[in-house]
A and B are shown apart, each in its own frame.
Chain A
Amino acid sequence: MNMQSKIHTKNLNLFAGKQQILKNINITIPEKKVTTIIGPSGCGKTSLLKCLNRLVDIYPEMKVQGKIYLDNINILEPQHDIHDIRRKMGLLSQRPYPLPMSICNNITFGLRISGRRKKRYLNGRLEHYLRQANLWDEVKDRLKEPAVRLSIGQQQRLCLARGLSVDPDIILADEPTSALDPVSTTAIEERFEKLKSRYTIVMVTHILRQAKRIADHVIFMYLGEVIEQGPAEQVFCNPQHEKTKLYLKGAYN
């Protein structure tokens, strides 16, 4: 199978105080595919995601060891500009956190801070990204309204559009549908299907059915360790490890 690796980690360890959250993680995330990280709650899925864009930096007790390669650059080395690294990865969190401004400014904020301020350009981009997140038709008449007025499903799509606006290579999604209703969930999943032709998508989920629906590549984690990883068909239909089999049967839920 010829797939290009976008991110791979080497002996990644994460400590929170004295407790070890991630143990010796070696994973490969293929480019332009949907990779889902599955596993029971508390197994370090979200922590792993936060390591990838170095959000762990802001938590005082977290210590990272090992190497994370993004396009063969180790992003844990201090000489790389952290803002550039983070800009390459859009983040979709468990519940949407729109910025406290209008819908329009939510999308253009990322562009404006990277120095693009021409009004016409911004308006064009605004429509483009809102269409990509399948939100344009719903909000085109109320772009000046505060983003809080949107429903939570719309807010999550707004956050997706906002994430896309800084032109990332990767979308990191941390249980992006856990706060949403089934219709909004389907909307986000459909978006991911469309977007994977251009972006590498890494999604954490605890819903097995969701993983089965959209995953191309699966990483199964248990208690801070990666138990099994590989193409979706292989992991779901022919798991190699005992723990994976048990999890797929529903033993850990």
Chain B
Amino acid sequence: MFLSSLLIIVVLGIILFSVLKKGMPFLTWEMISQPPRGGFYFGKEGGILNAIIGSLYLAFGATTLALCIGLPVAFYLNIYLIHKKKLVNTVRFFLDLLWGVPSIVYGAFGFMIMIYFGFKSSLLAGIIVVTIFILPIMIRALDEALKSVPIGLFESSLSLGATTSEISFSIYARQCFPCIITAILLSFGRAIGDAAAVLFTAGFTDHIPTSFTQPTATLPLAIFFQLSSPIPQVRQRAYAAAVILTFIILIISIITRIIVKKYQRSIIKF
């Protein structure tokens, strides 16, 4: 057990170290403050602000949408359907299946539908496909959290005359607040880090998107395109972009931890 833990930590350390070592020297202010200019893809001036902004738009949009859909679903499974265990377990099984589907399948599926309706790649299409992609993760994470609430709390709330929606939003949501935040973080990480789902649906552009109908660049795709370039300066920038992506996730994690700490004190422990 100790060896496995050590292995994981070492691997993580090597990844972080190599990304930082290769990326840090080329991480300039220009990289994160400017969109690509004329000669960017030949290693000249410009930065990847378009991909940073695009990724943030996409991940925030998709996470918000997934939360709006996922939270009611999780409440429905755990509170309204509390007396239908079989049905709930079937739903859980299919959600787990969906969790395992690779993201390129979601991307291809989204692309197919877009062609059918004659849409072009756009921020909105990217958000929708990423939402579908992270929904199973979001719902299952929320579901596990709600499942762990003891039935005694449910009985106590019922005997106060509370309706199921009051129990959901005033009691369960509070009791599971840290877990809900963790679920959001998990989904956000998947949304911002995924390349395949946005490859066809969000497209790639050098501009910062100003509306939902425009295509948008994303960081994972920016890394992908730059790494496959033959010019060494461009490849170095790919590592710098990876550093930026890692930092975004780090910052989000830290913010989440702070929020969770602050609200954890009123949670009932059993």
**Dominant SS at the B interface?**
helix
B-chain residues with CB within 8 Å of residue A224 when the two chains form the complex: none
Mark the stretch among B30-38, B101-109, B150-158, B181-189 that contacts chain A.
Answer: B150-158
> How many chain A residues have a CB neighbour from B under 8 Å?
35
A59 (CB) vs chain B CBs: closest residue: B83
Say yes or no: A60-B158 contact (C-beta < 8 A), given A101-B266, A148-B266.
no
> In the docked arrangement, what's the CA distance between A137 and B26, Å?
65
Interface residue ranges of A18-74 to B (CB < 8 Å) = 50, 53, 55, 57-60
Q: Is the interface of A mostly helix, strand, loop or mixed?
A: mixed
Whether the pair B85, A146 counts as a contact (CB closer than 8 A) is no
CA of A146 to CA of B269 in the docked complex: distance in angstroms?
12
Cβ-defined contact, B83 with A97, below 8 A: no
A32 to B83, CA, bound (A): 34
Which one of A6-14, A83-91, A186-194, A241-249 contacts B? A83-91
State in angstroms the CA–CA spacing of A86 and B160 once bound together.
7
CB distance from B12 to the nearest CB of A (A): 34
B82 within 8 A of A: yes
Q: B162 to chain A: which residues have CB within 8 Å?
A: 83, 109-110, 113
Q: Are A58 and B158 in contact (CB under 8 A)?
A: yes
Once the chains are docked, how many angstroms separate the CA of A53 from the CA of B224?
61
- Enumerate chain A residues within 8 angstroms of B166, measured Cβ to Cβ: 113
Binary B-proximity of A145-160 (CB < 8 A = 1, otherwise 0): 0111000000000010
Are A163 and B85 in contact, CB atoms less than 8 angstroms apart?
no
Provide the residues of chain B in CB contact with A60, threshold 8 Å.
Answer: 83-85
Knowing A58-B83, A109-B170, A113-B160, say if A102 contacts B152 (CB, 8 Å): no
* Contact present for A90 and B266 (CB under 8 Å): no
Closest residue of B by beta carbon distance from A90:
B159
By a beta-carbon cutoff of 8 Å, the part of chain B in contact with chain A is 82-85, 150-163, 166, 170-171, 174-175, 265-269
Residues of A at the B interface (CB closer than 8 Å) are 50, 53, 55, 57-60, 83-84, 86-87, 89-91, 93-95, 97-102, 109-110, 113-114, 146-148, 159, 162-163, 166, 172
